[in-house]
Amino acid sequence: MELQLGLALPPPPLIPIETFDLNSYGNYETREALGTNALSWPLLKLGPADNDINNIHHHNSSSSSSSSGGGAGCKKRSFDEAPVFDEKRNVPKTLHLLLWTNQPNDEDDDPSNVLHENSSSAIFKNDGEGLVGWPPVKTWRKKVHHQIPNGGAENNRLPAVENGIGGRASKSTYVKVKMEGVPIARKIDLSVHHSFEGLTNTLMRMFGISDGNRKSFKLTYQDREGDWLLAEDVPWRTFIRSLKCLKLIRSRG
Amino acid sequence: MQKKTAYSFPDEILEHVFSFIQSGKDRNAASVVCKSWYEIERWCRRKIFVGNCYAVSPTMVIRRFPDIRSIELKGKPHFADFNLVPDGWGGYVLPWISEMAGAYPWLEEIRLKRMVVTDESLELVAKSFTNLQVLVLFSCEGFSTDGLAAIAASCKNLRELDLRDSEVDDLSGHWLNHFPDTYTSLVSLNISCLGSDDVSFSALERLVGRCPNLRRLLLNREVPLDKIANLLSRAPQLIEFGTGTYAAELRSDVYSNLAEAFCNCKELKCLSGFWDAVPAYLPVIYSVCSRLTSLNLSYAPIQNPDLTKLVSQCPSLQRMLVLDYIEDSGLEVLASSCKDLQELRVFPSDPFGEEPNVSLTEKGLVAVSSGCPKLQSVLYFCRQMSNAALVTIAQNCPNFTRFRLCLLDPKIADYRTLQPLDVGFGAIVEHCKDLRRLSLSGLLTDRVFEYIGMHAKKLEMLSVAFAGESDLALHHVLSGCESLRKLEIMNCPFGDKALLANAAKLETMRSLWMSSCSVSLGACKMLGQKMPRLNIEVMDEKGPPDSRAESDPVDKLYIYRSVAGPRFDMPPFVWTMDEDFASELS
C-alpha cells in the first residue's frame, strides 16, 4: 500500500542533496484496483537532483544533469551548513519547542506504516473521483465539465442537461448523506451515479458497511416538500429530480 | 482649565485626520501610537475586516469598536473549496449577527466569505439593519431562498446583493417578488449560483426595469438566451453583465434582437456567464468586444477557432478567464492582441481525465508572459511544465503578484529533463519580488522550499501539495517567509520538527492548514499546551485522537491565532488541543 501511494517517508536527512536519489522516493503504480478514475503516477527515472538556483542563468533550455549537478563545484548547501539561526537574517526569533538540530529523531519509529494507514484512508475517502482535494477545482466547476460533451463536438446542441441530473433545482450535484447513528454527514456526487445499484454501492463503501450487513440498511431520501420516502419505491429519474438529501436507516424487522 | 500642551491636537482634529485613513492596516498602526490615539481611533473606525471569524469574538470587536458600519468576515479555511473540510466544521455567522444586531443598528455593509449563513441569520439581518446597503455572501452555504426573501422585503436601501459561488437551498417561492414595487435602489445583483426554481423571470424583469442605477447584473444558468435581449434593453446602462445559458437553436429574430441589445449597452465592460455557449451566438457580442476589460468564458465549451476569433477582438482585456479549450494557439493570439492583460485564469475542461484532451501546455503561458507586459496574476491548469519555461516566465514577468500553477498530475517532473521543478519555481520567487500568493505543483524536493524561504519575502499565502521530502522544507518556509500569513499544505511528508522549531512564527500568521501530513498527535498537544494564543484544532473523522498513540499522525490540522480562546461550536470530529485536552488524557 505504501508503495502504491508513493508517500513513503524518506529517510531522515542525513544525506546531502547531491546524492539524494529520487528514485527511492517511491514507486508509483496505477490505482486501477480501486476502481476509481484515479490518476496514474508513472514510474519516474530521475537523475541527481537539479542544480542550485545560482546556475540558472548559465543554463539554456536543457538543464544539465551531470557536470555541475554533483560534486565540489556546487554552491548548494548541504544540510550541515544550512544556517538555521543566522543572526544576520531578519527572521522572527523562533521559539524553539524543539531545537532544530538536523539530526534524525532517534525516538521516531519508522512511521511510514502508520502514515500510510491513515493517509490511504484519507486520500481514498472521496466521492468517486480520485484524490480528495486534487486537482484543486471548486465543486461547482467540476459539474460544468461533466456536462460538456466529449471533445465539444456538438456545440450547437441544446445545453446538455439531460444527464440524469437535469431538473435538479440546486446547482450542485452533491447531496448530503447521513447514516443513522453516525453524527457526521457526508456528501456524495450524484452526477457520477446512474442507478440505485451504483449509488448504494458507493454509499456502502463510504460508510464502511460490509456486503453482509447491506440488508440491514435501507436508503431513504427527503424530497423537496420535506417528506421522507423510501428510495427504491420510485423510478431513478423521479428520485434524482426530487431528492434533497439522503439517509441510510437501519431496517427494522 | 488644563492647558493642552503644544504637542496635543484636539480630539476632533485627530478624528478628522483619521477619517482619511481607510486601510485597516494603517488604522491599526495609528491605534498603537499612544493611548489617546487608540481611543480616538476606535471611536471613529467604521470599517473592519476579520480574516478569521474565530480569531476574535464579536463581543471583543463590539467592545473595542462601538460604531462599525461595514464588516467583512471569513470563516472556513480555503481548502474547504476543494472538499477537504467536512460538513459541520463551523464558520457560523449567527453569533456575529446576533450581537451586532444590538450593537450596530446602523450597519450598512456585510461581506461574508466561506461562512454558514442560515435563514434565521438572514431574517435577523433583515430585521436589525434597516440601513443595509451591501450584502455579499461569497462561497457561503446554509441558507435558502426564504432567507433571501426576507432580505428583499425589508432592506429598502439595499444596493448590492451578491451571492457569488454560494450554495442556496432552493425552496419553491419567488423571492424576487418580495422586493416591493417601491424599491428602486439596486446597483449590483449577482444570482449566478441559483438553481432553476429560484428566480421568477417576470419579477426579475420588473426589478431590472425599475432600478435605473443597476450597473452589474449576473444571471443564473437557467435564464434562457432568448430572454436576455429583453433584460438588456431595460438596462442599457449596465457595466457588467453575466448571461445565463448561452445556447439555443439559431433563430434570426433572437439573434438580431440580442445583437441590438448588446450594441445599445454603451458602457458594458465586463461579460461572464456563457454556460454551455454555442459558437452561433458569439458574434452577437462583437460590438462590445473592443471595450471589454473583463471576460469570463470559463463555463463556455467553445473551442478554436471560434474562441480565438473572439479573443482577438478584445484588445482592451485586462482580465481573462477561460477553459483550456483555448489551447496554446489561442493563448498566442491573446498575447499578441491583449497588451493590457493583467490577470489570466485557465481552467481544465477535463480535470479528471487521464489523457490530455486539448493541446494546452506550458507554451501558452510562456507566450502570454512574453506578450503581455502588465501580467500580474496567473492561475493556470495544465499537464506539463519545464524548468526552462518557468525561468522564462519569471524573467518575462517580474511583476507577478499572484502565481498559481496546477499541474494535473500531482508529482509530475519537468517533462524535458525529468528533473524536479525546483529550479523553475525558484526562478519565480527570485525574480518576482512582489509575489504575494504562490501555489506549487509538480515534482518538488526540499530545494524549492529553500528558494522560497530565501527569496519570497513578500509572500503572504502559499499553497503546497504533494511536495517536499522532509521537515527541512517546512522549516525553510516558516523561518524565511517574513510576510507569510496563510500556509496550506496537503499530502506532504512534513512532521513535527519544523512545526515545533517555529512555533512562535505561527502567532504571526493567520492560519496554517496541514492535511495528510505527518504531524503527530503529541506535537499537537505540545503546541496546544505551550501556545495559548494559538488554537490547535485536530480533525479526524475516524474517532477521537486519544484512541491512538501520541506518535500517530493526525489526519487534518488547522492552527490559527486567536485572542478569543478555543471555540465552542466544534463538531464531534474536531478536537482542540488546549491545556484541558492534554491534561485530561495524561
Residue A224 lies in a domain: yes
Supply the DSSP string of B317-366, one letter for each residue: -SEEEEEGGGHHHHHHHHHHH-TT--EEEEE-SSTT-SS--S---HHHHH
Q: In chain A, whose CA is at the least distance from the CA of B493? A: A9
Chain A interface mutation, best of B516, B519, B541, highest count of A Cβ atoms under 10 Å: B516
The total domain count for chain A is: 1
Which bin fits B18, alpha (ψ -120 to 50), beta or left (φ > 0)?
A: alpha
> ipTM value of the model?
0.83
Containing H/E element for A210? none
Q: Which residues of A touch B513 (CB under 8 A)?
A: none
B410 and chain A: CB distance < 8 Å anywhere? yes
- Which ranges in chain A belong to alpha helices (H)? 2-5, 112-124, 139-146, 196-206, 236-242
pLDDT tens column, A163-177: 333 333 334 567 878
Residue A125 lies in a domain: no
Residue A189 lies in a domain: yes
Q: Which residues of B touch A93 (CB under 8 A)?
A: 504
Give B104→chain A minimum CA distance, Å: 34
Chain A interface mutation, best of B321, B479, B481, B555, highest count of A Cβ atoms under 10 Å: B479
CA–CA distance, B508 with A92 (Å, rounded to integer): 9
The verdict on a CB contact (< 8 Å) between B82 and A138 is yes
Structural domain harbouring A218: 174-250
pLDDT tens column, A99-145: 565 544 443 333 333 333 333 333 333 444 467 788 999 877 765 55
Residue A217 lies in a domain: yes
Residue A197 lies in a domain: yes
Residue A159 lies in a domain: no
Which of A36-40, A233-237, B104-108 has the weakest average pLDDT?
A36-40
Q: Which residues of B touch A30 (CB under 8 A)?
A: none
Residue A49 lies in a domain: no
The verdict on a CB contact (< 8 Å) between B417 and A159 is no
Residue B480 backbone dihedrals phi, psi, to 5 degrees:
-105, -30
Q: Which of helix, strand or coil describes residue A220?
A: strand
- Kindly give the confidence (pLDDT) of every residue in chain B, 586 residues in length, as a single tens digit, with 9 standing for 90 and above: 555 555 667 888 888 999 999 899 999 999 999 998 999 999 999 999 999 999 999 999 999 999 999 999 999 999 999 989 998 999 999 999 999 999 999 999 999 999 999 999 999 999 999 999 999 999 999 999 999 999 999 999 999 999 999 999 877 658 999 999 999 999 999 999 987 655 788 899 999 999 999 999 999 988 999 999 999 999 999 999 999 999 989 999 999 999 999 999 999 999 999 999 999 999 999 999 999 999 999 999 999 899 999 999 999 999 999 999 999 999 999 999 999 999 999 999 988 888 888 999 999 999 999 999 999 999 999 999 999 999 999 999 999 999 999 999 989 999 999 999 999 999 999 999 999 999 999 999 999 999 999 999 999 999 999 999 999 999 999 999 999 999 999 999 999 999 999 999 999 999 999 999 999 999 999 999 999 999 999 998 777 877 778 888 999 999 999 999 999 999 988 989 876 665 554 4
**Residue B229 CB partners (closer than 8 Å, separation 6+):** B254, B257, B258, B260, B261
The minimal CB distance from B406 to the residues A44, A109, A135 is found for A135
The minimal CB distance from A155 to the residues B79, B167, B302 is found for B302
Residue A141 backbone dihedrals phi, psi, to 5 degrees:
-75, -35
Residue A9 lies in a domain: no
**In terms of Cα–Cα distance, which of B343, B350, B409, B345 is closest to B376?**
B343
Helices (H) and strands (E) in chain B, counts: 22, 23
Chain B interface mutation, best of A5, A75, A94, highest count of B Cβ atoms under 10 Å: A94
The minimal CB distance from B413 to the residues A44, A91, A100 is found for A44
CATH assignment at residue A229: 3.10.20.90
CA–CA distance, A170 with A187 (Å, rounded to integer): 14
- C-alpha distances (whole Å) from B457 to each of A196, B55, B221, B378, B464 are 54, 24, 42, 19, 17
The verdict on a CB contact (< 8 Å) between A10 and B470 is yes
**In terms of Cα–Cα distance, which of B453, B467, B464, B337 is closest to B412?**
B467
Q: Are A166 and A211 in contact (CB under 8 A)?
A: no
The number of C-beta contacts closer than 8 angstroms across A and B is 293
